[in-house]
Amino acid sequence: MSAFPRLTPLAQSLPATVPFVGPEALERRMGRAVVARIGANESGFGPAPSVLSAMRAAADGIWQYNDPENFALKQALGLHFGIAPEHIAIGEGIDALLGQIVRLVVDPGQAVVTSLGAYPTFNYHVAGHGGRLVTVPYRDDREDLDGLLDAARRETAPLVYLANPDNPMGSWWPAEAVAAFAEALPETTLLVLDEAYGETAPAGTLPDIARLIERPNVMRTRTFSKAYGLAGARVGYVLSTPENASAFDKIRNHFGMNRMATAGALAALADQAYLQDVLARIAAARARIGQIAAASGLAALPSATNFVAVDTGRDAAFARAIVDRLMADHGVFIRMPGVAPLNRCIRISTGPEAEMRRLEEALPQVLAALG
């Protein structure tokens, strides 16, 4: 007897999967509470008090749908960047926007270029819309711009993905190199430039808004999930041409945003003083992770993000053992890259000092137990 409801052949061919195993699932599986949540690249420093106040005030109106045109947030972002709001599309975090971008430009069977080991949720959307993933290995622990360009040209790819700064390695390219890469792509290849970690990057990492905003083959994705501390609210946006921004109206969930999240994003954007304070705390925590790693004989890689990739000096099995034992024995939740050679590393998110102390206590014990 055939299953009901009937799935499309594409859906039948796909595994039921969650790209990331969350700390909640680990707690259920291991029967142990997470005491240091430093694996998901959230901001343990949280949003500004002004943001929480705005969201609480908005709760009284939660019975109302959010403005389906996202007018106020587009206006605020436009003022923030000095661009017309027509250049902006709003969505439920970068993850939702990535899925919409793939749906807009990729036909089944078409090649989509990304880096081998880069953001798995992007790959998930490519597979879900029938695209054919073409991957380029990292070079010296960062995305290979020349390799990505060659692959995009060779495959006549309609879409190429680049994160700058990068996840999972925390590496980055200077703005000039990224802009030159974008300008060298074929006009028929759309660049998704994922700048989720843009706020935490050093000066000179992000290309000027004006340089790429009128290029029809560039979409820049950004988020309130990282430095602004609103991962659970799910607010992301795209910077591109007005024609590209309006294309999302063809397929997006027009009532996907919620009123409390929108209020929080507006308040976060207005409180730049708090953002600067958080950025300083992130930088301090990155240095702290580096010190903790070095004290245990491990090497922290340079990072432009709110996490640090730490080279274990061995292989994926050793890195996996560290990740598993930190959680099972100490309730310290971290993650690791998924493919070689990146998976020799573990990845640790920045967080408050209490969580850094738990890491400092637990890591030497785990390494000693592993020999």
Residue-wise pLDDT tens digits, 180-205: 999 999 999 999 999 999 999 999 99
Tell me: do 147 and 290 sit in the same domain.
Answer: no
146-184, pLDDT tens digit by residue? 999 999 999 999 999 999 999 999 999 999 999 999 999
Structural domain contains residue 230: yes
Looking at residue 1, what is its pLDDT? 46
Least confident of 18-32, 230-244, 260-274, 294-308: 18-32
Looking at residue 260, what is its pLDDT? 98
Evaluate if residue 344 carries a pLDDT over 50: yes
Using alpha carbons, list the distances in angstroms from residue 2 to 5, 7, 8, 13, 50: 9, 10, 13, 15, 54
Evaluate if residue 307 carries a pLDDT over 50: yes
- Integer Cα distance of 304 and 36 in angstroms: 22
- Integer Cα distance of 85 and 361 in angstroms: 48
Structural domain contains residue 334: yes
Tell me: do 242 and 288 sit in the same domain.
Answer: no
Tell me: do 192 and 263 sit in the same domain.
Answer: yes
Q: What is the mean pLDDT of the chain?
A: 97
Domain that holds residue 355: 20-46+273-370
Tell me: do 64 and 170 sit in the same domain.
Answer: yes
345-355, pLDDT tens digit by residue? 999 999 999 99
Looking at residue 355, what is its pLDDT? 98
Q: What element of type H or E holds 260?
A: helix 259-270
- With beta carbons less than 8 A apart as the criterion, state whether 221 and 94 touch: yes
Evaluate if residue 2 carries a pLDDT over 90: no
Tell me: do 179 and 138 sit in the same domain.
Answer: yes
Of 270, 292, 310, the last residue of a domain is 270
Tell me: do 278 and 347 sit in the same domain.
Answer: yes
Tell me: do 133 and 227 sit in the same domain.
Answer: yes
Looking at residue 3, what is its pLDDT? 57
Mean pLDDT of 278-292: 98
Q: How confident is the model at residue 5 (pLDDT cuts 50, 70, 90)?
A: confident
Of 231, 249, 270, the last residue of a domain is 270
CATH classification at residue 325: 3.90.1150.10
Cis omega (within 30 of 0) for bond into 341: yes
Evaluate if residue 229 carries a pLDDT over 60: yes
- Integer Cα distance of 235 and 237 in angstroms: 7
Using alpha carbons, list the distances in angstroms from residue 69 to 194, 219, 265, 267, 280: 23, 19, 15, 18, 34
Apex 252 CA angle, 250 and 255, nearest 5: 125
Using alpha carbons, list the distances in angstroms from residue 305 to 74, 87, 161, 167, 331: 25, 26, 18, 8, 24
Mean pLDDT of 294-312: 98
Q: For the chain, percent helix, then strand, then coil, each to nearest 5?
A: 45, 15, 40
Tell me: do 154 and 118 sit in the same domain.
Answer: yes
55-112, pLDDT tens digit by residue? 999 999 999 999 999 999 999 999 999 999 999 999 999 999 999 999 999 999 999 9
β-bridge pairing 236-239 and 218-223 = antiparallel
> How many domains are contained in the chain?
2
CATH classification at residue 147: 3.40.640.10
Q: What is the pTM of this model?
A: 0.96
Evaluate if residue 132 carries a pLDDT over 90: yes
